[in-house]
A and B are shown apart, each in its own frame.
Chain A
Amino acid sequence: MAVTLTVNGQARTVDADPDTPLLWVLRDELDLVGTKFGCGQALCGACTVHLDGTPTRSCQTTLGDVGDAKIVTIEGVQGREAEAVRAAWVSLDVVQCGYCQSGQIMSAVALLTENKKPADSDIDAAMDGNVCRCATYHRIRAAIHDAARRLEA
């Protein structure tokens, strides 16, 4: 079934069943492989994308669920918050294996868009669904605070 989606600001038409998880539409149909497969059950957050700005687990969102929502992936996320987050991530060398980091960054950008100066408890609440087996959490927390400072400047 042909469905037209808005992905990273562009209209993209895909031929897939409505029950297909958005994750596999992005990765296998649209070649947007920055969004990762980690668990398939919305337990790890590696597949996080924005639907109308809201961080969403694409592995448990079907094509049929998307409707008219605008989809933004790691490849397309931009704006002040995204720039601040990326700059902080690089400056603090947050990444290790990097596999979860697309999802971490998408969650962090959404957090900072809603809350310009998150406290540690806000970070815990916003980021607890994003698993990092390398346990870069310590630096993710520091990088979110760093990004918040960059946004103030």
Chain B
Amino acid sequence: MHMLQKLEPGAVSGLAATLSGAAQTPLSRRFVLAAMGGAGIGLVLGLRPEVAHAAPAGTGATGPAFNPFVRIAPDGTVTVIVKHLDKGQGIATGLATLAADEMDANWSKVTTAFAPADPKIYGNAAFGGAQGTGGSTSIAASYTIYRTAGAAARAMLVAAAARQWGVDPATVTVSNGVVSAGSRSAGFGALAEAAAKEQVPAEPKLKAASAFTLIGKEGVHRVDNLAKTTGARIYTQDLKLPDMLVAVVAHPPRFGATPKSFDATAAKAVKGVKDVVMVPQGVAVLATTTHAAIKGRDALKVVWDESGAETRSSSDILADYRGALGKPGLPVEAHGDVEKALKAPGVKLVEAEFEFPYLAHAAMEPMNAAAQIKDGAVTIWTGCQFPSADLPNAARTAGVAPDKVEIHTLWAGGSFGRRALASSDFVVEAVAIAKAHGKGVPVKLVWTREDDMKAGYYRPAYVHKVRAAVDASGKPVAWHHHVVGQSILAGTFFEQVMVKNGVDETSIEGTHGTYDIPNMKVELSTMKAGVPVLWWRSVGHTHTAYAVEVVMDQLARAAGQDPVAFRLAYATDERMKAVIRLAADKAGWGTPLPAGRSRGIAAHKSFNTYVAEVVEISLADAGVKVERVVAAVDCGVVVNPDVVRAQIEGGVGFGLGAALHDAITLDKGAVQQANFDTYEPLRMSQMPKVEVHLVASDAAPTGVGEPGVPPLAPAVANAVLAATGRPVHRLPFAGQAFKPA
């Protein structure tokens, strides 16, 4: 960090000002100073020196640091320090692309490392500076940060070359990882040590879009694809540390129950079992191997205290929700006079009551974390999606100060939201077991598939009721929408900022604003249930888009209009209209289909990204078969078109699997699903052909991890409506008979 100690205050504030001015999303000055300037600003602001020194760490990163986001090793390898968890969405590739383009680096020599937990440097502006990944915010919030970090590093390489060669920096050029002036040239690696000592430029100049060599280009391959095809990529599940024990836990059979007592005689007789400890989450068996820990857990006898447990069945919970439809909810949106408009003469009414089940994330890698408490310090290894929650939660559980906790982030085998939660459930469980064991060795908590499926933090179940109407001319004139379900944010530290007047934004996002409806009322009834709930890829939009888009098709039918034309006539946003047109055009909307096939469309904006999807289905004895999906996407500037396409393809598959068969149900409080036989993932034979078309745009970039999901299920439902004349108001589709009209 020697170079940072040379920094002059003027240079630092200039950098901060530049970053602030260049930012395309509103960033608070506090955030800019704290998150962008890194250790240099840390010194200026009088932050403790260890923060400055910790700044450019990053697991596996080598070579001198140019700033908290870029290192260059003597062999020329550029390591981009990634402040977001990559759980498959490709953010490591995306952030590296941003920095590498501004550096004019050689992409084949670019690698990545995950940042340490340090929100002052690696915070997320979209989360008020908290460090975490979610809400499809990473690219939007990091676009300028990583470009600036790359541009600053490039300028330092140029300055070092100019100094060594005694030439004017203006004559120095950089291309594909080589710095040149006249007849002289040098690779990044040869210049790295000297360049890192150069002054961080006050105002690194960013490229014009026309000069991009990587951003927006085809053929920029993922940074992680080789390691993930050879078996070399290490996930938390694969961790091996000296003296490490594997912990498998007997969890209570119902949410809210706690362990009362246990008999570990048989468990301890299993070869390899070293300890059995009770923690608030259950009873943990610690063993030298995973198999021994599982066998030990299966041999445990535990008595549970179920006095505080949720004992209702999911059918009871949903019946309570339907009962709440009869009572007024909290106001979310109101304009015009919806009751009067619904009763106006000549209107055609559509009434729909929707039901959405609890859903599990079921990432391929079951949740896990390793923890070691030694000499008063805590070390965590996990696919850490939310350092700003996991770090203080681990500290509190271990009974140490937050600055005694270190987190090593590993690549995660999926998340879909499950790894980011205010309670840090599985991280806290790992720390609690390590503390109870008390021997100072690393403990790797492993959940089996069944543990993962039954652990809760589901997409909440919801009931919606919509009453809507078109007038005699076919114009939609009234829309009353009542949402009933649990709040994701209630009781968490998000509640203060994201629950307004009692309304949890994540319960109702996406219910209104897409279409011009002159008389509208949206209300929310927040219900209590003892089932832990959480965001699930695209959060509230998973159910609101379904209700809105299915009712839109019903209204179009009532108006005798084509679903695409109807949406285009009343959509409020030109960007939304453009994706609807593009998807319809590419799908051949209106052209004849083979016998037995039908089409449906849905469109939805989520996380500031616009997506329209046209699906083609066939109906068979086995139910709905989706044959083809054509998606159109407007996510502003596209950083990596192939990663964007991959996320939309994946969103289509993820949304389809859930819509076809998935529901978590409770029988007297006990979760009835355990593994992939009862909670069926989408499989190869069910995957449709997917085409993704991107809208060329110079608008600020937005996220794509989630927005592919919301339109899929309603588009399928609308294709079923087209084939059968019957709207589908309940998910999943499984168990419902669809007969062609």
Q: How far is the CA of A35 from the CA of B228 in the complex (A)?
A: 12
Whether the Cβ atoms of B685 and A21 lie closer than 8 Å is no
Contact B682 A135 (CB under 8 A): yes
The one of B238, B291, B676 in contact with A20, judged by C-beta atoms closer than 8 angstroms, is: B291
Contact size class for A?
Answer: 35 or more
Q: Which of A16, A98, A131 is in CB contact (< 8 Å) with B676?
A: A131
Asked if residues B449 and A41 are in contact (CB atoms below 8 Å), the reply is yes
Q: Is the CB of B684 within 8 A of A141?
A: yes
**8 A Cβ contacts from A49-89 to B:** 73-75, 86, 89
Hey, which chain B residues are within 8 Å of A73, CB to CB?
Answer: 231
The yes or no answer to B275 lying at the interface (CB within 8 A) is: no
Residue in contact with A134 in the complex, picked from B88, B234, B684, CB distance below 8 Å? B88
From B229, B230, B365, B643, residue with most partner A Cβ within 10 Å: B229
Q: Are A135 and B650 in contact (CB under 8 A)?
A: yes
Q: Are B364 and A41 in contact, CB atoms less than 8 angstroms apart?
A: no
- Identify A34's interface contact among B221, B232, B416, B646, CB under 8 A: B232
As a 0/1 sequence over residues 642 to 658 of chain B, the CB contacts with chain A under 8 angstroms (1 = contact) are 11001001111110110
Interface residues of B in 227-253 (CB under 8 A from A): 227-235, 237-238, 240, 246
Q: Which residues of A contact B365 (CB under 8 A)?
A: 36, 38, 97, 99
- Which chain A residue lies CB-closest to B412? A97
Tell whether B411 is near chain A: CB-to-CB under 8 Å. yes
Q: Is B90 an interface residue (CB 8 A)?
A: yes
Which listed residue (A89, A97, A129, A136) contacts B87, Cβ 8 A? A97
Are A93 and B684 in contact, CB atoms less than 8 angstroms apart?
no
B225 at the interface (CB under 8 A from A): yes
User: In the bound complex, what is the Cα–Cα distance between A20 and B690 (angstroms)?
Assistant: 41
Contact B654 A135 (CB under 8 A): yes
Q: How far is the CA of A119 from the CA of B90 in the complex (A)?
A: 30
B687/A138 in contact, CB under 8 A? yes
Chain A residue, CB-CB nearest to B90: A96
Residues of A with C-beta under 8 A to B227: 98
Cα distance A41–B674 when bound, in Å?
11
A152 within 8 A of B: no
Q: Are A90 and B226 in contact (CB under 8 A)?
A: yes
Question: What's the least CB distance linking B670 to chain A, in Å?
Answer: 19
| B681 with A95: CB separation less than 8 A | no
| Given A24-B291, A98-B233, A141-B687: A41 in contact with B414 (beta carbons within 8 A) | no
Say whether A28 contacts B649, CB under 8 Å: no
In the assembled complex, the Cα of A99 lies from the Cα of B446 at a distance in Å of: 15
Given contact pairs A133-B363, A138-B687, A98 touches B88 in the complex (Cβ within 8 A): yes
Nearest-neighbour CB distance to chain B for A96, whole angstroms, equals 3
Residue B500, interface by CB 8 Å? no
Say whether A140 faces chain B, with CB atoms less than 8 Å apart.
Answer: yes
CB-based contact A131/B449 at 8 Å: no
Determine the distance from Cα of A17 to Cα of B690 in the docked complex, in whole angstroms.
47
Partner of A96 from the list B230, B650, B675, B683 (CB cut-off 8 Å) is: B650
Chain B residue nearest to A105 (CB atoms) is B229
Is B224 positioned at the interface, with any CB of A under 8 Å from its CB?
Answer: yes
Task: Please name all residues of chain A whose beta carbon is closer than 8 Å to the beta carbon of B652 when the two chains form the complex.
Answer: 135
Contacts of B448 in A (CB 8 A): 40
B290 at the interface (CB under 8 A from A): yes
Shortest B631–chain A CB gap in Å is 12
Given A24-B290, A97-B87, A99-B364: A134 and B687 interface contact (C-beta under 8 Å): no
Q: What are 14 A-B contacts defined by CB distance under 8 Å?
A: A31-B240, A37-B290, A86-B230, A93-B221, A96-B646, A97-B411, A98-B411, A100-B364, A105-B229, A128-B683, A128-B684, A135-B653, A136-B653, A140-B684
Please give the residue numbers on chain A whose beta carbons come within 8 Å of chain B beta carbons, in ascending order. Answer: 16-17, 20-21, 24, 27-29, 31-41, 43-44, 46, 73-75, 86, 89-90, 93-102, 105, 123-124, 127-141
The 8 residue pairs across chains A and B that have the minimum distance between CB atoms: A34-B231, A135-B653, A99-B413, A97-B88, A98-B228, A96-B88, A74-B231, A137-B687
Using a CB–CB distance below 8 Å, which chain B residues touch chain A? Answer: 87-90, 221-222, 224-235, 237-238, 240, 246, 271, 289-291, 294, 362-366, 411-414, 416, 446, 448-450, 642-643, 646, 649-654, 656-657, 675-677, 681-685, 687, 689-690
